[in-house]
Structure 1
Amino acid sequence: MESERKPVRVVVVDDDQLVRLALRLVIDGEPDLTVVAEAADGDAAITVVDEQRPDVVLMDIRMPGRDGLSTTRELLTRPAPPRVLMLTTFDSDDLVLGALRAGALGFVLKDTPPARILDAVRTVADGNPVLSPAATARVIAAATGPQSSEARRSSREAARKQLSALTERELDTARAIADGLGNPEIAERLHISIATVKAHTGNLFAKLMVENRVQIALLVRDAEE
């Protein structure tokens, strides 16, 4: 039964004590969620995550010392890493893109209404990305923003090399994922079953060595620049 499920265990990482307190109060008010630890910087976050083994880490992206991006990369090298949900002011944080490439499952703005933050934690705990269509568009815009021609060429060549391992149908599926489509919409577009979409997606994870659909979308966009 749903009520018998263990609460999702959350670690909150933010250098602002008031932000940590507010998030703890919001999260601990839910029967299916619990904050098991807090950390004020990246080094402390790594320590508490190793101790507590949480399901989800709410990670501030900008902190003194080790920032959220570096910390996320470190945590995701663990054999059984937590799901990472970035906390950001997005408009001024170009580091979000790097965090998504590293394997974070999404991000929430710090001024997001509490109910949506709670929904985001639950979604990430289930292994699903938290990116609305509008947010996805902005991430893609950041991915294709100002960059040196050499950096663009390097990213494009690396992405195309990875995608070259795919079959034509797998590539079609990857492009549909990059367009923000869910499995039912992909099945309709490609005239295949949802089960086949899931099979193709599983192949994408294995062949591209990615952990979520956001990383697939970014690879496709890099390849098509």
Structure 2
Amino acid sequence: MSDIRVLLVDDHAMMRAGFRTILSLEDDITVVGEAATGLEAVAAASALRPAVICMDVQMPDMDGLEATRRIVADPTLDAAVLIVTTFDRDDYLFAALSAGASGFLLKNAGPEELVSAVRVVAGGDALLAPEVTRRVIARFASSDAGPRAVAAPLALAEPLTERESEVLRSMAEALSNAEIAARLYIGEATVKTHVSNVLQKLGARDRVQAVVLAHRHGLA
């Protein structure tokens, strides 16, 4: 994998320092800058062109949610936003989903989880901590669609293959591509292909939406 340029955004200098120390140990990751507010994050994203932005939520001047919206909406930028939060408020999560964040990680995650998350979103995949996935599913599966919609079959232009169905069920358990590969005894590249096919057939923009659809329509 080519060098992954990372921007760290958090209003606590010690948190940024900790993230920098962890990520700088990796040969394929370079921390190109830091920001302490959402406004600084938007400006730094434009100036530094990072591949991944580790974004806090609660910050002065502009919070991480609005910063994420602006960065994702900018067609000149190609940065994946990884929300790194204490995750004590569900409304932050769903607002960030709507804003276009690519991943969510809890601040109590281990160093190896942070490194893995950066690589996952840099590779174009979405990542959710298992705790986050459960909350997303619980919220959307019980949303205004109602219980009938949860059980209703999903009309697909092309049906999922047996292997794609297995991959979707594993995605619904919040397994990563590596974990799915180990479970199904296939390569990670093959898993990525299956995930891409699943998203296309479901008409889902990312893994989160695919998992929600799977639970709503009895596919998982």
Give the alignment's TM-score, normalised by structure 2: 0.72
Aligned partner (choices 50, 54, 59) of residue 55 of structure 2? 59
Give the alignment partner of residue 137 of structure 2, picking from 140, 149, 155: 140
2:78 to 53, 68, 81: 81
Q: Counterparts of 2:191 and 2:119 in 1: how far apart (Å)? A: 24
Correspondence for 2:35 among 24, 36, 39: 39
1:91 equivalent in alignment to 2:84: no
CA drift at 1:121: 0.9
CA deviations on 1:136-169 (whole Å, 9 max, x unpaired) are: 2232224457x7xxxx259x99xx9xx76x4262
Structure 2 partner of 1:190: none
List alignment gaps of at least 5 residues for structure 2: 185-189
Higher helix content, 1 or 2: 1
1:121 aligns with 2:118: yes
Cα pair distance change 1:142/1:199, threshold 3 Å? closer
Deviations 1:63-85 (A, max 9, x none): 22321111112111122421111
Which residue in the other structure is 1:20 paired with? 16
Partner of 2:5: 9
* Distance change in 2, residues 1:177/1:52 (3 Å): same
Shift of 1:46: 0.6
Change (3 A) 1:220 1:95: farther
The alignment yields a C-alpha RMSD, in angstroms, of 3.6
Q: What is the Cα deviation at residue 222 of structure 1?
A: 6.5
Map Cα deviations across residues 101-149 of structure 1 (whole Å, 9 max, x no partner).
Answer: 432222111121112111111111112222254542232224457x7xx
Q: Provide the secondary structure at the position in 2 that maps to 1:97.
A: helix
Q: Distance between the aligned counterparts of 1:126 and 1:194, measured in 2?
A: 13
Map of 2:65 onto structure 1: 69
Q: How many residues align?
A: 202
Instruction: Name which of structure 1's ranges 103-112 and 134-143 shifts more when overlaid on structure 2.
Output: 134-143
Contact 1:42 1:67 in 2 (8 A): yes
Cα distance between partner residues in 2 of 1:37 and 1:195: 30
Compared CA separation, residues 131 and 35, structure 1 to 2 (3 A):
same
- 1:179 matched to 2:172? The reply is yes
Q: Give the unaligned 5+ runs of structure 1.
A: 188-192
What residue is the counterpart of 2:99 in the other structure? 102
- Render the CA deviation track for 1:42-63: whole Å, top value 9, x for unaligned: 1110100011111100000222
Query: In 2, are the aligned partners of 1:13 and 1:38 still within 8 Å (CA)?
Result: yes
CA distance in 2: counterparts of 1:195 and 1:144, whole angstroms: 25
Q: Is the 8 A contact 1:86 1:107 kept in 2?
A: yes
Tell me the equivalent position of 1:112: 109
Alignment identity in percent? Answer: 36
Cα pair 1:177 1:216 within 8 Å, conserved: no
Q: Report if aligned partners of 1:58, 1:87 keep a CA contact under 8 Å in 2.
A: yes
Q: Give the direction of change, closer, same or farther, for the CA distance of 1:202–1:131 in structure 2 (3 Å limit).
A: closer
Say whether residues 1:213 and 2:210 are aligned partners: no
Equivalent residue number for residue 187 of structure 2: none
The separation in 1 between residues aligned to 2:40 and 2:12, in whole angstroms, is 14
SS for the counterpart of 2:54 is strand
